[in-house]
């Protein structure tokens, strides 16, 4: 990957907070852990495909603002960069993602996983400022 951005995905730390709500009991549970952007990208691209506009939107928002919230049917995931210094411009964020996707296509020799048979509703929004 060309060095158009300061750090590689494996070097960018992300805090993930997942909130799940049981539709029957209305009880909520929260899970919080730290991971890397590389691990998140691997998971997202396997679930949503290499050309997913959702992945591009989430990665762009995360890397340009430092945090993003993704709402799924049964849970809400909040992603926040561990170091605010990892925030980069939108063009750098897209270059990072495009280079990563290209490198994965070279490794696998494929165009990526087939799109999921189920439809997912993903809402990307900027969390309110504190």
The pLDDT > 90 percentage for the chain reads: 43
Q: How does strand 13-21 pair with strand 123-125? A: unpaired
Q: Check whether 78 has a pLDDT greater than 70.
A: yes
Phi, psi of 30 (to 5 degrees): -125, 135
Q: Which residues in the chain belong to E strands, given as ranges?
A: 13-21, 28-36, 67-71, 75-81, 123-125
Could you give the 3-state DSSP secondary structure of residue 7? coil
Could you give the 3-state DSSP secondary structure of residue 8? coil
- The position carrying tokens 């709402």 is 71
- In the chain, where are the structural domains located? 10-105
pLDDT at 4: 79
Torsion angle of alpha carbons 89, 3, 79, 17, nearest 10°? -160
Could you give the 3-state DSSP secondary structure of residue 36? strand
Q: What is the pLDDT of residues 79-93, one digit of tens each?
A: 999 999 999 999 999
* Percent of residues in the chain assigned helix, strand, coil, to nearest 5: 40, 25, 35
- Name the average pLDDT for the chain: 82
124 or 84, which is more confident: 84
DSSP state for residue 85 in the 8-state scheme: G
19 or 107, which is more confident: 19
Q: What is the pLDDT of residues 19-29, one digit of tens each?
A: 998 777 778 88
């Amino acid at each position: 990957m060309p060095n158009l951005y300061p750090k590689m995905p494996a070097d960018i730390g992300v805090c993930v907070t997942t909130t799940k709500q049981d539709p029957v009991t209305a009880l909520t549970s929260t899970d919080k852990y730290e991971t890397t952007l590389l691990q998140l990208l691997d998971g997202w691209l396997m679930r949503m495909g290499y050309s997913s506009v959702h992945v591009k939107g989430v990665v762009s928002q995360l890397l340009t603002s430092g945090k993003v919230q993704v709402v799924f049917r049964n849970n809400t995931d909040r992603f926040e960069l561990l170091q605010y210094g990892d925030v980069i411009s939108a063009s750098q964020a897209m270059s990072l993602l495009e280079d990563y996707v290209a490198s994965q296509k070279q490794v696998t020799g494929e165009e990526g996983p087939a799109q999921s048979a189920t439809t997912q509703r993903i809402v990307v929004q900027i969390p309110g400022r504190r």
